[in-house]
Amino acid sequence: MSGSYSRVLLKLSGEVLAGDKGFGIESSVLDRLASEVGELHSAGIQVGVVVGGGNIFRGVSASMEHGMDRVSADYMGMLGTVINALALQSSLERKGFMTRVMSALHMNSVCEPFISRKARRHLEKNRIVIFACGTGNPYFTTDTAAALRAKEIGADIILKGTKVDGVYDKDPSLHSDAVQYEKVSFMDALKLQLRVMDATAVSLCMEEKIPIRVFNILVPGNISKVVVKGDNIGTLVSLD
């Protein structure tokens, strides 16, 4: 795959925004990511961003560890994504980039409700669109939300920024002999249960033929290398 993309969907986990602190938002990380997203915009690429909320509240962990009702915990996690989305919006607009935050849950005082046609129109008007609250439904991850939003806005590719260099055959933090894939098919990712995105998200991307590039977003400049320069970094997940 080359770097000739006109519209991309960037998936940012909440953990990435936390930086070394592990919780909350690290201002230096937020500022750098906003600058790199802005670089794409300046290069004429339309950008949508799906943000997670794990740095604020992890719904699944709370429901499993503390006996909290899963539905309530998931909704609390969705609210965490709104905090991250508004923080990213503020950082981008301080740099002069026009943005819109769109939420799957209605909260008109702080952001717009998600409407696919309106999201595409914002992108066409050169606004960076940040999607909050996942799919708006409990039991569905922000990975699935990223796949869904990518389809709805007609993105050329999903960029999944992580803390590791790509997709491995096993957890590199636990196994020193873990091998990174340069390229893997959707079907193999599902069969081998590779940690690309959750199975629902991968299946949707496979059905809709939306490639996924998994890369280390903690390395400064990697977003531009993938999208603008077309560098073959990380792991490409595609049909073949």
pTM score of the predicted model: 0.92
Domain locations along the chain:
7-238
pLDDT at position 1? 42
* pLDDT (tens digit per residue) in 51-98: 999 888 865 665 556 678 889 889 999 999 999 999 999 999 999 999
The mean pLDDT value of the chain amounts to 92
Give me the phi and psi of 120, to 5 degrees please. Answer: -65, -35
Quote the CA–CA distance of 107 and 130 in Å, as a whole number: 14
Tokens of 61: 């962990």
Please tell me the number of Cα atoms within 13 Å of 225 on its side-chain side. 15
pLDDT at position 173? 83
The superfamily (CATH) of domain 7-238 is Acetylglutamate kinase-like (3.40.1160.10)
Work out whether the CA dihedral 68, 70, 75, 81 comes out positive or negative: positive
pLDDT at position 4? 77
Cβ-based burial of 175 (10 A; exposed 0-12, middle 13-18, buried ≥19): exposed
Quote the CA–CA distance of 233 and 113 in Å, as a whole number: 35
* pLDDT (tens digit per residue) in 117-165: 999 999 999 999 999 999 999 999 999 999 999 999 999 999 999 888 9
Quote the CA–CA distance of 49 and 199 in Å, as a whole number: 20
